[in-house]
Chains A and B, each alone.
Chain A
Amino acid sequence: MSRGTAAEHRLAWLLCAPAVITMLLVTAYPMLYSLWLSLFRYDLRFPDQREFIGLQNYVAVLGSPTWWESLANTLIVTTASVALELLLGFVFALMMHRALIGRRAIRTSLLVPYGIITVVAAMSWRFAFDPTTGFINGLLGLEGALLAERWTAFGVIILAEIWKTTPFMALLLLGGLTLVPENLLRAARVDGAGALQRFFHITLPLMRQVIVVALLFRTLDAFRIFDSVFVLTRGAQGTEPVSLVGYNTLITRLNLGLGSAVSVLIFCCVVVIALIYIKGFGIELSRQEEK
């Protein structure tokens, strides 16, 4: 294709303008506004006391145990759920790839967790683990409420996260599995390579790019965890993730200054995670956009 004429450029920009302007107005502008607000003492309950205080909000957030605890909580949930999802996702993907019968049924039922509203799924788990209405305590012969203890509550939160998002991981991995040439695997089989050898020496290396992209997106997604924790514990028992700290500061307590500092710090965490993946694993995100 040619480099394009001036008329073509104009048409292209015209077509892109509404979407780009919307995206920038609703993300970039509020993000900058967040950065600005984070430099002020600004509590909506006492709007008259608004004043510029420099980095004091950041000092307050970074000096509080709540922030570090919630960051640790978020990282625990993110790491545990993404790691387990990758394993389980591979099992599911291989099943969908190899299953001779019922492939359609498997795919359809796996899309149910993907499509269901997160809050609804979390409600189901909350009722299931409830000592009076639930069936799980009876099934496991337990007495106490699992959601009332810190580590078991983490277990339930991670379980809810895994249940909901493994199908997405599995579908991405399935897409990667179809990239592995079938005759290569057959040749390796003829040469005497076992199933595990074939998986680790052929399938896995060929899927590297797909796996890293899936991990990046799932990690960033898990890091924003909010809905399920809100429903399951509302952050009680020391399970509060960073998003909930942000929400509580901004919307519940209406402290826009301090809350904005939390928001900016969460944004920085996300940038750091993305950079670690992009630099560390060498994802070539831009390469995919080339034709």
Chain B
Amino acid sequence: MKTLIKSLFLIVLSVCFIACNSNTKTTENTNDTTSNEVSNEKTGQAFIKDEGGTPNALQLAIGSDDHSTLVAAVQAAGVENALVNVGPLTVFAPNNAGFAKIDEATLNDLLKPENKSKLAFILTHHVAPANYPVETLKKNALKNRKLYMASGKYLEVTEKDGDIYVDGVKIIATVNVSNGWVHVTEDVILPRD
């Protein structure tokens, strides 16, 4: 059933993309966005055909079955370009199980179209414009150095029994990507305020 939903989800997504694309063929580069999120246009580095080479943070997430919810959220919020930038970036990437832990009401609210910028804010709260491999995170925990996120807020790093936590959220895996680091987390990191 889960798989079915996933596939359904992807199919609907693709249909939407196709629909959008056919529209953009006739509209070409229109952009009326004046709201306070990053460009929602499907142009930019995220859409470069770039085969071969080490994948960037977005490509890695797209290629991972366990991050389909994150990818969908990123695409819904239109923040793809923030993840393919030359960086350096450090991305805390909640897996699908992590997203599943959010209570329904919260998620429901977040995914409302009018809350698109709120969703973008939460996602950028998972991205640091910095180079944070595991060793640096450990050092940051030791030296009490906080992480400044693209949301403009900070995350606290702690180390317990050899595991690293950001604002209490555990990192369960780490991948070196072409534009920085992706740390897989088992929860979504919700901004404190």
**Bound pair (A, B):** no
Binding site for A on B (CB under 8 A): none
Question: A-side interface residues toward B, CB under 8 Å?
Answer: none
